[in-house]
């Protein structure tokens, strides 16, 4: 693989991870006012876990001791956040407990929006790197065709 191809692959992996992170954040924000899911259980906020991609003799592996960095990032999973539900006193609500409190997901809107903006900026930076790598590769092909 060429250097420009490697750069593009790394940037592409970053775009994929940040896109997935944005989807998880959007799901959290969309369910901030949800008391119950269709299954009847309360919504649990989630976080995307990502990190560097590693290579071993067997291929890509998560965090092995004998691995070397492969370039780029990958998703290691989506975990439930350990947050306390946000209790609101709404005695008329159908999901109110005996004290008249309704449990909403413990989502910090400010933190979610901050992470959303950060993920958007990282995504945009990866798009810029990807486009630059494509331009460099096209320019190298153009120079090579003149020879």
Tell me which residue of 10, 5, 4, 1 sits closest to 126, measured CA to CA: 10
What is the domain extent for residue 74?
Answer: 3-32+46-80+107-146
Tell me if 63 is assigned to some domain. Answer: yes
Only one residue has tokens 């005695």, namely 91
Tell me if 132 is assigned to some domain. Answer: yes
Average pLDDT of the segment spanning 102-121: 96
pLDDT (0 to 100) of residue 58: 56
> HSE-up of 96 (CA within 13 Å, CB side)?
11
Q: Total domain count for the chain?
A: 1
Tens of pLDDT, residues 32-50: 999 988 888 889 999 999 9
Tell me which residue of 99, 85, 94 sits closest to 32, measured CA to CA: 85
d(CA 7, CA 129): 8
Q: pTM of this prediction?
A: 0.81
Tens of pLDDT, residues 2-24: 555 588 889 999 999 999 999 99
Strand, helix or coil for residue 54: strand
pLDDT (0 to 100) of residue 140: 87
Tell me if 26 is assigned to some domain. Answer: yes
């Amino acid at each position: 693989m060429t250097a420009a191809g490697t750069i593009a692959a790394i940037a592409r992996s970053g775009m994929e991870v940040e896109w997935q992170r944005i989807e998880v954040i959007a799901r959290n924000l969309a369910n901030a006012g949800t008391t119950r899911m269709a299954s009847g259980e309360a919504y649990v906020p989630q976080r995307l876990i990502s990190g560097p991609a590693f290579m071993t003799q067997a291929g890509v592996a998560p965090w092995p001791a004998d691995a070397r960095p492969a370039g780029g990032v990958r998703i290691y999973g989506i975990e439930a956040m350990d947050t306390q539900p946000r209790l609101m006193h709404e005695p008329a609500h159908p999901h109110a407990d005996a004290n008249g409190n309704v449990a909403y997901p413990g989502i910090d809107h400010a933190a979610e929006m901050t992470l959303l903006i950060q993920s958007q900026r990282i995504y945009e930076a990866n798009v810029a790197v990807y486009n630059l790598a494509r331009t460099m590769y096209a320019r190298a092909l153009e120079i090579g065709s003149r020879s």
